[in-house]
Amino acid sequence: MGLNSNMANREVCDLIFLDYATKKPFLNLDYANVSTTELTGESVFAYGGKGHPKKVQFSGERGGTITIETQIQSAKLWQLITGGDVSKTAKFVVRKEIVTEDGTEVTLPDTPVAGTVAVYKLNDDCGEALACTVANASVTLTTPVAANDTVIVYYMKEVTDKVQRISVKSTSFPKNFVVYGDTVMKTENDEVLGYRMIGYKVAPQSNMSLSFSNNGDAGTITITGDLMADSDDNILDLILLEDE
């Protein structure tokens, strides 16, 4: 009786993304807050007669979108949206305030990338750089400051362990995916039906906004995928299961 009953939903879909080319699992996205499926199409009409009325309707350009909103993120999710390459090394600039006991020698916590060290007095941050020489993690000030003075050091740090870098280039494009959705529907008779959704060929749009704020709700990221037809013209399946 449940499959023929009126029903409603108030639960998000858990989603599994499979690489469209290999059909291998790529991402288990079971932490979304909102998942929306929209089907689209275009109607074109043939007109004829007095008053230019519509006589014949043609349907085409079938498609749609899957939209996901989540506050939980991962590097794998960023890769899905951007199509960027993942690597295990990264370089970035760091800023350190370091006390020089003798006014001449400064020891950095890392070995900097060659040619990237810049040293400033504490009261002249990003002002006039102090002349120095660098050997590994040791910096020697050519013109000493006072003993026990604090200096500010900027340098490029290279990390080769415990790091993931998503490299997005102008030539990076997301892969296509098969997407399986899983949630529940509730009927007017208080029955719970299993709901499954299959998007046969989903192309993530290359739009991503990463917001960082020190107040309000946790940042939300929105992923939108275009629904396309696969090689068998399949676009979307909506499945109800009575025994779940």
Q: What is the 3-state secondary structure (H, E, C) of the chain?
A: CHHHCCEECCCCCEEEEEECCCCCEEEEECCCCEEEEEEEEEEEEEECCCCCCEEEEEEEEEEEEEEEEECCCCHHHHHHHHCCEEECCEEEEEEEEEEECCCCEEECCCCCCCCCCEEEECCCCCCCCECEEEECCEEEECCCCCCCEEEEEEEEEEECCCCCEEECCCCCCCCCEEEEEEEEEEECCCCEEEEEEEEEEEEECCCCCCCCCCCCCCCCEEEEEEECCCCCCCCEEEEEECCC
Question: What confidence score (pLDDT) does residue 210 get?
Answer: 87
Percent of the chain with pLDDT over 70: 98
Question: For 104-136, what is each residue's pLDDT tens digit?
Answer: 999 999 999 999 999 999 999 999 999 999 999
Percent of the chain with pLDDT over 90: 90
Question: Does the pLDDT value for residue 1 go beyond 60?
Answer: no
Q: Which pLDDT band, with edges at 50, 70 and 90, does 95 fall under?
A: very high
Average pLDDT estimate for 150-171: 95
Question: What confidence score (pLDDT) does residue 2 get?
Answer: 61
Residue 242: count other Cβ atoms within 10 Å of its Cβ: 14
Q: Which pLDDT band, with edges at 50, 70 and 90, does 4 fall under?
A: confident
Mean pLDDT value across the chain: 94
Question: For 51-67, what is each residue's pLDDT tens digit?
Answer: 999 999 999 899 999 99
Question: For 8-18, what is each residue's pLDDT tens digit?
Answer: 999 999 999 99
